[in-house]
Chains A and B, each alone.
Chain A
């Protein structure tokens, strides 16, 4: 086979080596635009896993590289004058110049032709070859020329970074978080040979501009960073090598091949540098592609298919983890202020690849320290210096107002639609009892209506009648003997999503007109084309504020420990908050602060009657997922004001404001946790998170990392109080 490889980086050179080694009759040529010893980017991280693979596929390369690698087993986090070391993170790094030199030498020894300082025009450089490989990096010309065929997409990240070297030799991989008057600066540093370290500086765009870095020359910004990190550098110098400020771009391609052209490494996919996987993925691509070509030497299509089958899923997994990690660094400012142990734990678990359980296997000491810190913090006791047994974070109590939840697990019950005139009955007791005996810290009822007209279906349970108080009181009294689980009432008004049929066969199916009741909303917009047009909330003499307050008093009398006011799911108060559904320009509609008036009036009225010592929560929609709707920053602003009005806890949810036109989330694991993190740490209020969280390990990780205070565990397949199946 005659093979032309464009790009003499790790992927291209290693692929050339493996192909030449597999079959000496292959004619392999590599073209590279730079000279043999030119390289940018100082040292690169290399994974031990990849190295193990290298040993098996080409022992000579492995032996040569093995000598050049700098290895370490720990990482340091420098934050607020402390250095926290976490162990068990096996990494190695190598100088890029030495890596390339080694690979060049090995390739040459196997008869590969290397042509340097040769600018390839694109795939046609090798028009006569059987196979053309685009190994030409993030700015690949091969990929650019065939962009439509590959289905390329680019996602630039918001942060700016510069890739320096330094003659300071770090012990281990080191993250530095430096608070400055301009904002937070982050360093990713690691040693890669006997005397040099990589020193990547990353900042948010705002900080970058405030510091004036956007207007500085390469030399000026090097001097700036050298001065800024003088304490960390201890007299050592930063070094530049085209170290200009750039934005990282995540590149993805729907497919990595077209006819006889195939992509490897950064040309095919990039993953943010903060998880150090670029070289690893590139070398692994080369191994997989060489193997596939060896197995199907006469069928390129089959070989490419096997290559992609082998690589696309693991690469996507790394890209997702890297994107999470990149987001972490973009927003790490919101975690500055965390205690050092929690800050470190939050950093170590940032990408979702390492959970608390995974970290404990690597570094039990740091997990124990975080557990102890968390327990001391949760109980208000001083952290003792000596090691001691600490409970997993989910077992830490949480005190809100004058009430203490025994643990951090929340079970939230789905609607049953079987109440009679709003009164709860046996099914409500059964599902509550199952949730309480399961040992959750908090159980939240299904949505309870504050008035008959505020019901979702005619089977919605309520809090609007003396009979309801008695029924709830009886149920709650029975639950008391089953443990110390607290029970929350979720009170709300369905607004324009009311008067629907039971939810067993679907949502928002309107009742026949003769069974329906009038709906209320800030603007006359039906929830679906088939739904009733709601009446004007502000022109009716319905006393909805009074209904919420009366329901709160009823909930208190019935003995609920906690009250949730529902401002989510497109129900009444959510519809007042969202610009999609509140189109008014009077006293109640317009800018966010005006739209907030009515929900605050409700909250204040509830606050006035709900007992001071019992916590008051709001279930809040913080993102409409719609270009014209509420965005997360609005959600943060609302949460801040709710807190000022006496709300102790925000249940952070998103969506369902409108039935059509909003973007659906991907519903992947923990899809709402990022929003909770943002609200909790920007608005300074305790939060509940939910959404595809099914294991206690996830609960522990989220709570210990400070992304939420309470976590709703999906009943999923592990726990389900009401396992209803329609299957025969």
Chain B
């Protein structure tokens, strides 16, 4: 299992220069990926723009959205942005997509909340088409394709998130794997089993790539918990439960890593719950 770290795009104090510094330092560290999350109605940075900036200041690290809320975005523009980030990063993009959980984000951009699962399915199929058309553009008329072609031959790795049966089926039908939304190892393992079962049931060859995520705060745990309560305030009572799952000690992080590995996780991304750059070093000491 690989270990990634999140970019602090939604924690208090995560300003522009901090993000690029953070990305640069993550690239030097023991981390294999740099993850971003998505939300519209919040004081957060746009995930794709942030990854484009990260692409410019990194050479090695994989760049991952976990997740971007697909139906909020026009598919053609999303395909073009993702392909561009893949080009800028030399083929390092993993694009995780899901339907998200907040109605207000849909209302804020004027996207339709109803049938959002259906729209995500269509979007996944269309993204592949657009990238493949761009790749085979040499024998196409110039005005029929939407470039650039992604740097990765098969396009950015595609992941689908969510916990409904429909999400697992969507991952099996359209994506390369599944990205879990966080929780104790037991919750991840359950979702991973379901993702694999859907994959086999659909007759997909091979097996899904499985990504997990967890929040951590090693320095100021109280600030981390405050952020979690604020960020997940939309979830009502559930916010407290999410905050209670924050990893605040090296032991808790090691246990989480071991648990996820046993659950079959291929890549666990640890998301910072504060914007303190020292968190990078603290985490590096544990996973390095």
Contact = CB atoms under 8 A, between A and B. Distances in A.
Interface of A: 255, 257, 301-302, 304-306, 308-309, 414-417, 447, 503-509, 528-530, 569, 653, 655-656, 659-660, 663-669, 671, 690-692, 694, 714-717, 720, 722-728
B230 to A, nearest CB: 14
Contacts of B129: 509, 530
Contacts of B240: 301-302, 305
Contact of A726 (B157, B166, B168, B201): B157
Given A530-B125, A664-B165, A664-B168, A655 B244 contact: no
Contacts of A667: 165, 168-169, 193-195, 197-198, 201
Contacts of A569: 203
A62 to B, nearest CB: 30
A506 B264 contact: no
Nearest to B172: A507
A417 B207 contact: no
B239 to A, nearest CB: 9
A625 to B, nearest CB: 9
Nearest to B194: A667
A504 B241 contact: no
A727 to B, nearest CB: 6
B9 to A, nearest CB: 24
A722 B205 contact: yes
Interface string B137-168: 00000000000000000110100000011101
B202 A656 contact: yes
B204 interface: yes
A379 B206 CA distance: 37
Contact of B194 (A302, A505, A692): A692
A691 B125 contact: no
Nearest to B266: A727
A414 B203 contact: yes
Contacts of B267: 727
Interface stretch (B11-19, B74-82, B173-181, B277-285): B173-181
Nearest to B245: A309
A57 to B, nearest CB: 23
B209 A660 contact: no
Instruction: Please provide the 10 A-B residue pairs with the shortest distance between their CB atoms, ordered closest to farther.
Output: A664-B165, A305-B240, A692-B197, A667-B194, A724-B206, A667-B197, A664-B169, A664-B166, A414-B205, A506-B174
A414 B204 contact: yes
Interface of B: 2, 62, 118, 121-122, 124-125, 128-129, 154-155, 157, 164-166, 168-169, 172-176, 193-198, 200-207, 209, 236-238, 240-241, 244, 264, 266-267
Contacts of A668: 194, 197
A435 to B, nearest CB: 14
**Interface residue SS majority, chain A:** loop
Contacts of B172: 507
A155 B216 CA distance: 39
A715 B154 CA distance: 26
B203 A503 contact: yes
A495 to B, nearest CB: 14
B251 to A, nearest CB: 19
A425 B238 CA distance: 53
Given A660-B118, A666-B165, A714-B200, A506 B241 contact: no
A686 B56 CA distance: 61
Given A309-B244, A506-B128, A727-B266, A417 B176 contact: no
Nearest to B92: A728
A507 B209 CA distance: 16
Given A308-B237, A509-B128, A655 B201 contact: yes
Contacts of A257: 237
Contacts of B197: 667-668, 671, 691-692, 714
Best-buried of A447, A505, A715, A720 by chain B (most CB within 10 Å): A505
Nearest to B155: A505
A727 B265 CA distance: 12
Given A304-B237, A509-B128, A667-B165, 18 more contacts: A255-B236, A255-B237, A305-B240, A306-B244, A417-B205, A503-B203, A505-B128, A505-B176, A506-B124, A530-B129, A655-B201, A660-B118, A664-B166, A666-B165, A692-B194, A725-B207, A726-B209, A727-B209
Nearest to B229: A301
12 contacts: A309-B241, A414-B200, A414-B205, A503-B204, A505-B128, A506-B128, A507-B202, A666-B194, A667-B165, A667-B198, A671-B197, A727-B266
Contacts of A671: 197
Nearest to B209: A727
Nearest to B176: A726
Nearest to A302: B240
B125 A528 contact: yes
Contacts of A504: 205-206
Contacts of B266: 727
B196 A716 contact: yes
A720 B207 contact: yes
A308 B176 contact: no
Contacts of B201: 653, 655, 665, 667, 690-691
A506 B173 contact: yes
Contact of B175 (A506, A508, A656): A506
Contacts of A659: 173
Contact of A308 (B169, B200, B241): B241
A659 B118 CA distance: 10
Nearest to A149: B236
B264 A660 contact: no
Nearest to A712: B200
B48 to A, nearest CB: 22
